[in-house]
Amino acid sequence: MSTGPHRIEIAGVAGAGKSTLTRTLRHRYAGCRVADSLHTRVPAHWPYVAHSIPRLLPIIARPVRNRPLLSWDELKFAIYVSEWIRFLRASREYRYGVTILDQGPIFALACLLWGQKPITRSERFQAWVKEMVERWSLELDAIVWLAAPDHALLERINHRDQTHEAKGKSRQEGHELIESHRQAYGQLFELIDRLGRPRVLRFDTNTMSPVEIAGELAEIFEGRGRGS
C-alpha cells in the first residue's frame, strides 16, 4: 500500500457513536491520529480564514428574500470545508499514516444543509456544495458511516452531557430532527455515489460495538497505518 497520507472521515447523525469509535481507533491503532480542526480564534489559523473569504463571498453575499443568510457557526462550517485540506497538507504530522477526521467535511456540509435555510437551496450554494464534495472525494480514502435506529439515537442523545436540539424533545420532534439530519447526509451521499468515490463503509452501532467495528477496519489502520 501507498506510504502517503490516508484520511478517513467518521460520519453519522448525533448519537451514532462517532466520537466513541474515534477514541477506540486511536487507542487500538498506534499509527493513526485524529486531525485537529481549524479554529477561527487561533491567530495561526487566521490566514486560512482570510484565504476562504473571497471564494465564499459570492455564495453568501446575496440575501435571499431578505431572510438571514448564514449564522456565524454556519459560516465557520463553510470556512472549515473550504480550507481544512490546505491546513492538513501544511501540517507535517498529517503527511503520512492514517488520519481520522471526526466531524469532518461531510459532517460540516450536512450541518449547513439540515438547517434548510433559503440560501442553501440557491443554485450558487448547491454548486458550491457539489464542488466541495468533488474536492473532498479526492482527499478521503473512505467514509465510515455509523447508523442506528431512531430510538437508540434519541436515548443516547438524552443520556449524554452534550447539548443537542433533539435533547429533551418529544419522540415525534426528535424523530423529525434526526430524519432531517439523515436527509442532509443523503443528499451528499447521492453526490458521492455518482462520483464513485470515496468508498463508504456502513456499520450499525446498535448491533456492533466500537471494538467490533474497529476490528472490521483493521485493513485500513494496520495496513496503511504502517505504510505497507
Cell reading at 82: 473550504
- Residue 109, pLDDT score: 96
| Residue 225 pLDDT class (50, 70, 90 cuts) | very low
Bigger pLDDT: 79 or 5? 79
Question: Percent of the chain, pLDDT > 70?
Answer: 89
Bigger pLDDT: 166 or 11? 11
Burial 8-44 (b: 16+ CB within 10 A, else e): bbbbbbbbbbbebbbebbbebbeebbebebbeeeeee
| Residue 195 pLDDT class (50, 70, 90 cuts) | very high
Q: Edge-to-edge strands of the sheet including 6-11?
A: 32-34, 98-102, 6-11, 142-147, 199-204
Which tens digits make up the pLDDT trace of 63-82?
555 555 788 888 899 999 99
Bigger pLDDT: 119 or 214? 214
pLDDT exceeds cutoff 80 at 203: yes
Which tens digits make up the pLDDT trace of 120-158?
888 889 999 999 999 999 999 999 999 999 888 888 888
DSSP string, 38-75: --TT-GGGHHHHHHHHHHHHHHHSS-BTTB----HHHH
Question: pTM above the 0.75 mark?
Answer: yes
189 burial (CB, 10 Å; 0-12 / 13-18 / 19+) is middle
- Residue 160, pLDDT score: 77
What's the CA gap between 206 and 153, in Å, rounded? 9
Domains contained in the chain, CATH given: 6-226 (3.40.50.300)
